[in-house]
Structure 1
């Protein structure tokens, strides 16, 4: 007889929220991809913190603060998100982790604009 600790339900919920946020980014924030940017949901804790990192063309972009603010404002309205952090690196800055291929398209972080 095994005892279900509910851990699989939590993992599925985190994955479901991550997928929902990634899908929303792809549909509602096409400007990221249009400008050669990428996005990655680094954490999706239902009822807790969600962390999104922007990369590629977003690195050092002058309007990245507007983009991050728009993302934060929208996602804070979702009942399953308590806290949201959207990070976009300054030019030459790195978060110390590789940017994976984004749901929004090709990973363009190495070439900046995909070149």
Structure 2
């Protein structure tokens, strides 16, 4: 097995599989990736805030992570419902800290 953590492998996957997020001014960050429980939490920000297709993107991320990573069994993708922004971005649209409006599992 690789020395990379599950979170790092998912971040690398996001860069390669979801470039559309960055191309549209969005950001993404893996908040949790627990190889023991299989739970992953990804947050979208930036241009994803209020985007009409962000729910489709979120569903694609959920489905593909479960399909592509044997260790992943449950994925939550939080999508901003308003102008929340990631603090800074790096390669592939990875985001910084996002501010939560609510604790709902799919929107903040």
How high is the TM-score relative to the length of structure 2? 0.74
Structure 1 runs not aligned, ≥5 long: 1-12, 110-115
Taking a change above 3 Å as real, the CA distance of residues 103 and 47 of structure 1, as seen in their structure-2 partners, is farther
Match of 1:39 in 2: 28
| RMSD over aligned Cα atoms | 2.8
Match of 1:6 in 2: none
Structure 2 runs not aligned, ≥5 long: 98-108
The counterpart of 2:60, out of the listed 49, 52, 70, is 70
Match of 1:101 in 2: 89
Taking a change above 3 Å as real, the CA distance of residues 82 and 102 of structure 1, as seen in their structure-2 partners, is farther
- The count of aligned residue pairs is 94
Write out the 4+ residue segments of structure 1 that deviate beyond 2 Å after TM superposition. Answer: 97-103, 105-109
How high is the TM-score relative to the length of structure 1? 0.70
Farther-moved stretch of structure 1 (53-62 vs 97-106): 97-106
> Rg bigger for which structure?
1
